[in-house]
Amino acid sequence: MNMSLRKEVWEANLSLWKNGLVYGTQGNVSGIDRKGGEVYIKPSGVAYEKFTEDMIVKVDTEGSCVDKKGLKPSVDTPHHLFLYKNIRDVGGVCHTHSKFITVFSILGIPVPALTTAHADVFGKEIPVSGYVDNTGTNIGTELLKIYKKTGANAIILGRHGLFTLAETPSKSAFYALMAEYCAEVSYYALIAGGFTGKKVMPLDRKEIEKWYSRYHSSRYGQI
Ligand SMILES: [Zn+2]
């Protein structure tokens, strides 16, 4: 990786703002350096307009600040750390309250895999958890339970928002963008299905798997 992890985490956080996935100071992306035992994450309560790379906070895997810049890490840091501790191949975690994902979180229904774009990126529906508050390890435990059950790298947290898990911070932010896109498309399809009398069904499972494996094979893209 040419880019430093700090820079990648900063750019991934900014991408949430640029893509309209966050409001106010909401949202956060982190990345872990497993060899160094360090996690880079967005500071708490900083406006995106004033957010610079050197504001990224570095913590150890227990959540203590490593470099003393005076900024506190995101209040969601414990949830990120819990996921890194319990899912060893995760390198980046992202959290948003993007609008259409939040609608599904309120309804408590998963985002169905209706299109090939959804199948490409996620390979399954985006599952939704029950409601939990943010004390202790409640959020992390709930997310881990859903992850173990489904293997999904994007999980809707009931009455709250979205968490995504990926190999890198930038990929976790990309998953948040695509999850919002899929939620918006599904929302309109389900509404339109209601007033046109068309039953909106997910793609066939075999088709979903085919699109997913094609997208994730080395034959796709420029590499
Ligand atoms: Zn939140």
Domains and CATH numbers, the chain: 5-215 (3.40.225.10)
Separation of CA 28 and ligand 1 centre (Å): 9
Alpha-carbon distance of 128 to 108, in angstroms, equals: 6
Report CA dihedral (116, 142, 158, 185) to the nearest 10 degrees. -10
In angstroms, the Cα distances linking 145 to 29, 103, 108, 142, 148 are 21, 22, 16, 5, 5
Separation of CA 157 and ligand 1 centre (Å): 9
Task: Give the pLDDT confidence score for residue 222 in this predicted structure.
Answer: 61
Task: Give the pLDDT confidence score for residue 221 in this predicted structure.
Answer: 63
Separation of CA 159 and ligand 1 centre (Å): 10
Separation of CA 33 and ligand 1 centre (Å): 23
Class of residue 193 by CB neighbours under 10 A (exposed 0-12, middle 13-18, buried 19+): middle
Task: Give the pLDDT confidence score for residue 1 in this predicted structure.
Answer: 45
Separation of CA 223 and ligand 1 centre (Å): 35
For residue 31, what is the DSSP state?
A: E
> Which residues are designated catalytic?
120, 220
pLDDT tens for each residue of the chain, 223 residues long: 457 999 999 999 999 999 999 999 999 999 999 999 999 999 999 999 999 999 999 999 999 988 776 699 999 999 999 999 999 999 999 999 999 999 999 999 999 999 999 999 999 999 999 999 999 999 999 999 999 999 999 999 999 999 999 999 999 999 999 999 999 999 999 999 999 999 999 999 999 999 999 999 866 666 4
CB atoms within 10 A of CB 195: 7
Handedness of CA 69, 71, 74, 78 (dihedral sign): positive
Task: Give the residue from 120, 159, 118 showing the smallest Cα distance to 139.
Answer: 159
Task: Give the pLDDT confidence score for residue 220 in this predicted structure.
Answer: 64
